Amino acid sequence: MTFQQFNRLTPTEKEIAMWYIGVPVADRFDKIYRYLLFQLDAFYIEIAYAVNLNVITRLTAFDNTDQLEPYLENIQIDLNWEDNQAN
């Protein structure tokens, strides 16, 4: 799915695509929200989840890697790729 195709989806379709096609990459917290970052093909989706309300309050899609900055410390990259391939 392309970034443009995703942006043409309805809000419900965007959530379905995020949960079923997207790959969880990272999360972060502040005082009110838990932010979850997903990668879907060549773009990213961030949701803001209001913990105290138990609801997603915002879903934002972006293809600009500058917006990954808040997550860079928490993204886990497995550098032992060869070890994982042997399993």
Under the banding of pLDDT at 50, 70 and 90, the label for residue 78 is low
Architecture of the structural domain at 3-71: Roll (3.10)
Under the banding of pLDDT at 50, 70 and 90, the label for residue 83 is low
Checking if the pLDDT of 65 tops 90, the result is: no
Tokens 């928490």 belong to: 74
Amino acid at 28: R
Report how far residue 13's alpha carbon sits from residue 25's, in angstroms, rounded to the nearest whole number.
20
pLDDT digits (tens, 9 = 90+) for 38-48: 999 999 999 99
- 28 CB contacts (<8 Å, ≥6 apart)? 34, 35, 37, 70, 71, 74
Per DSSP, the three-state class of 29 is strand
pLDDT confidence of residue 39: 93
Q: What is the pTM of this model?
A: 0.78
pLDDT confidence of residue 20: 96
Half-sphere exposure of 58 (CA within 13 A, CB side): 9
